[in-house]
Chain A
Amino acid sequence: QLQLQESGPGLVKPSETLSLTCTVSGGSISSSSYYWGWIRQPPGKGLEWIGSIYYSGSTYYNPSLKSRVTISVDTSKNQFSLKLSSVTAADTAVYYCARHPRYCSSTSCYLPLWFDYWGQGTLVTVSS
Chain B
Amino acid sequence: EIVLTQSPGTLSLSPGERATLSCRASQSVSSSYLAWYQQKPGQAPRLLIYGASSRATGIPDRFSGSGSGTDFTLTISRLEPEDFAVYYCQQYGSYWTFGQGTKVEIK
Contact = CB atoms under 8 A, between A and B. Distances in A.
Contacts of A48: 98
Nearest to B45: A118
Interface string A74-105: 00000000000000000000001010000000
Nearest to B97: A49
Contacts of B88: 46-47
Contacts of A63: 1, 95
A121 B44 contact: yes
Interface string B25-54: 000000001010100000111110010000
Interface string A96-128: 101000000000000111111011110000000
Interface size class of A (residues with CB under 8 A): 20 to 34
Contacts, number: 53
Interface size class of B (residues with CB under 8 A): 20 to 34
A46 B98 contact: yes
Interface string B58-80: 00000000000000000000000
Given A46-B98, A49-B98, A62-B95, A114 B44 contact: no
